[in-house]
């Protein structure tokens, strides 16, 4: 009997074990292969690109799923709820996002003020030029761009590009330090405008639900499309163990001398990583337990694969298909909630990033010997929250929006180069916690919306969605009985 149990457990969680194994093997191979070239030499970028090939192919497949997944799941989920219920579910989700993001920021600020990693730390100059991403922008411009991107003028273009304010210095004084005196213009830059597509899909879903019977066919079309995309996701997910293995190995081979990097920024790294992990693996699980009375350890274990993929890809958007699959198939969250709140969460809710932005800005201020007033710290916490909302779910997006937080205390954009050396690794930790935060949020919202969801009459269209909702209630009862 016991053996039977173990076999069943292994079979059900095989992919999770394999994916986590992939990350561990990736670290082992990466560290081992770093030693292969002769002393002082490195793997050539060409060799690294060959090793990265399989990981990159896996990433391409995940990225290909983002667009169809976000659009179909949002339209299908919002369309199948009535207006007041989608308002309630959306409201609960946003409340959860705001509260947990602010909690993360406060935790980060307390830690960085207590540990003071910037005092006495040496400056390390990363190669900011190589990234070439640092723009001159003011906080107001960044926030306005976020709102502008919510309302894209052309939906086809939104699949490819997003709007960005561009500032140009006055002709008479090209070195003008005050950005508010620069000319304001705009351009479309490469990259999917996810927030615009999220807003457009929600509006479309609301319209479908307002039309009721008159739009049943369209709703059904999107629901079936959404199931189809999830089916494909289920296949792609089987590649994740190999995909993350190669992604992690290649990243480690690319890195400069690891010892040197951590020597200089060790304490800063420890504060950010410690804070992020504490928030994701202690604070959020506690909240989850308090609100739902469900077992958080089991919940996190069921998300194992999404966690490993987030670590491997550094992108919460690319991980979204996996997150959705784990949440629905393993944690049995009602798809009407997960498909509604997860795409929004993956775009705007980033606890890990928020904590990091606050710590990084204060760390740089400490390094520069700047003393911060209470007002400065308050300004940092507000902009860190906004910067995490504005950051896209792509690798190192947080580093780019950090410029906005630095701006509030008068630090120049170039100062991000001080922390760039460890950012690739911190990014992986933030992405893991960003994904976990979205998942806990979906579960808590589903718990509070359970009665309203089961009250919706079962129609042919909603039948499949109802099943998960019932499974979820049954599990909660079981767990509560055990308590
Ligand atoms: N890479 C992170 C994410 O995708 C965003 C960040 O840079 O903090 O969630």
| CB-ligand 1 contact for 353 (6 Å cutoff) | yes
**Which atom of ligand 1 lies at the shortest distance from residue 434's CA?**
9
Please answer whether residues 391 and 430 qualify as being in contact, where contact means their C-beta atoms are separated by less than 8 angstroms.
no
Q: How far, in Å, CA of 424 to CA of 420, rounded?
A: 8
Q: Report helix, strand or coil for 215.
A: helix
Ligand 1 centroid to Cα of residue 391, in Å, is 7
Ligand 1 centroid to Cα of residue 66, in Å, is 15
Domain ranges for the chain, please list them: 2-482
* Ligand 1 binding pocket mutation candidate from 192, 251, 315 (most atoms within 8 A of CB): 315
**Which atom of ligand 1 lies at the shortest distance from residue 388's CA?**
8
Q: At what angle do helices 374-390 and 397-408 cross, to 10 degrees?
A: 150
Instruction: Tell me which long-range contacts 407-412 makes (C-beta under 8 A, separation of at least 24).
Output: 407/137, 407/138, 407/139, 407/383, 408/139, 408/361, 408/376, 408/379, 408/380, 408/383, 409/361, 409/365, 409/370, 409/372, 409/376, 409/379, 409/380, 411/361, 411/364, 411/365, 411/368, 411/370
Q: What is the pLDDT of residue 333?
A: 93
**Which atom of ligand 1 lies at the shortest distance from residue 317's CA?**
4
Q: How far, in Å, CA of 461 to CA of 412, rounded?
A: 54
Please answer whether residues 62 and 306 qualify as being in contact, where contact means their C-beta atoms are separated by less than 8 angstroms.
no
Please answer whether residues 118 and 270 qualify as being in contact, where contact means their C-beta atoms are separated by less than 8 angstroms.
no
Least confident of 158-167, 260-269, 296-305: 260-269
| CB-ligand 1 contact for 319 (6 Å cutoff) | no
Least confident of 37-46, 87-96, 103-112, 231-240: 37-46
The pTM is what?
0.85
Mean per-residue pLDDT, 103-112: 96
**Which atom of ligand 1 lies at the shortest distance from residue 318's CA?**
4
pLDDT at 129 over 50: no
Please report, rounded to a whole number, the percentage of residues in the chain having pLDDT higher than 70.
89
Which of 399, 312, 309, 319 lies closest to 30 in space, CA to CA? 312
**Which atom of ligand 1 lies at the shortest distance from residue 399's CA?**
7
What is the domain class of 2-482 according to CATH? mainly alpha
Strand partners, 189: 162
Between residues 124 and 319, which one has the greater pLDDT? Answer: 319
Confidence tier at 458 by pLDDT (50, 70, 90): low
Please answer whether residues 80 and 465 qualify as being in contact, where contact means their C-beta atoms are separated by less than 8 angstroms.
yes
Give me the phi and psi of 392, to 5 degrees please.
Answer: -80, 160
Tokens of 5: 């149990």
| CB-ligand 1 contact for 233 (6 Å cutoff) | no
| CB-ligand 1 contact for 321 (6 Å cutoff) | no
């Amino acid at each position: 009997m016991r053996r039977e149990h173990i076999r069943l457990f292994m079979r059900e969680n095989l992919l999770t074990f394999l994916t986590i194994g992939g990350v561990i093997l990736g670290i082992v191979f990466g560290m081992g292969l770093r030693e292969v070239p002769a002393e002082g030499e490195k793997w050539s970028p060409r060799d690294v690109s060959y090793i990265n090939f399989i990981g990159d192919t896996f990433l391409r497949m995940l990225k290909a799923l983002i667009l169809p997944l976000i659009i179909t799941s949002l339209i299908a989920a919002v369309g199948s709820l009535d207006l007041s219920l989608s308002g309630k579910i959306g409201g609960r989700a946003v409340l959860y996002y705001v509260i947990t993001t602010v909690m993360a920021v406060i935790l980060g600020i307390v830690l960085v003020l207590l540990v003071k990693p910037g005092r006495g730390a040496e400056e390390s100059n990363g190669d900011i030029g190589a990234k070439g991403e640092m723009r001159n922008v003011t906080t107001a411009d960044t926030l306005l761009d976020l709102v502008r991107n919510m309302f894209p003028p052309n939906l086809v273009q939104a699949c490819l590009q997003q709007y960005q304010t561009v500032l140009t210095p006055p002709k008479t004084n090209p070195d003008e330090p005050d950005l508010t005196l620069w000319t304001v213009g705009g351009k479309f830059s490469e990259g999917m405008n996810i927030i615009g597509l999220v807003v457009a899909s929600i509006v479309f879903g609301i319209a479908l639900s307002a039309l009721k019977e008159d739009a049943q066919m369209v709703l059904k079309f999107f629901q079936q499309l959404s199931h189809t995309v999830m089916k494909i996701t289920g296949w792609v997910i089987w590649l994740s163990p190999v995909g993350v293995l190669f992604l992690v190995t290649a990243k480690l081979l690319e890195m400069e001398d690891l010892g040197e990097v951590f020597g200089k920024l060790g304490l800063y790294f420890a504060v950010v990583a410690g804070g992020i992990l504490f928030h994701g693996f202690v604070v959020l699980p506690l909240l989850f337990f308090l609100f739902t009375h469900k077992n958080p350890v089991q919940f996190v274990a069921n998300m194992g694969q999404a966690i490993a993929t987030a670590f491997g890809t550094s992108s919460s958007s690319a991980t979204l298909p996996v997150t959705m699959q784990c949440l629905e198939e393993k944690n049995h969250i009602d798809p009407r909630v997960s498909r509604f709140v997860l795409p929004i969460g993956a775009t705007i809710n980033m606890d890990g990033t928020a904590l990091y932005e606050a710590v990084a800005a204060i760390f740089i201020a400490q390094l520069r010997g700047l003393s911060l007033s209470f007002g400065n710290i308050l300004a940092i916490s507000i902009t860190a929250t906004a910067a995490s909302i504005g950051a896209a779910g792509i690798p190192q997006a947080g580093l780019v929006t950090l410029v906005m937080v630095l701006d509030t205390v008068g630090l120049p954009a170039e100062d991000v180069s001080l922390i760039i050396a460890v950012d690739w690794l911190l990014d992986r930790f933030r992405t893991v916690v960003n994904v976990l935060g979205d998942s806990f949020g979906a579960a808590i919202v589903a718990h509070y919306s359970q009665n309203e969801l089961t009250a919706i009459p079962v129609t042919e269209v909603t039948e499949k969605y109802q099943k998960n909702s019932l499974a979820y209630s049954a599990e909660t009862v079981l767990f509560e009985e055990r308590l």
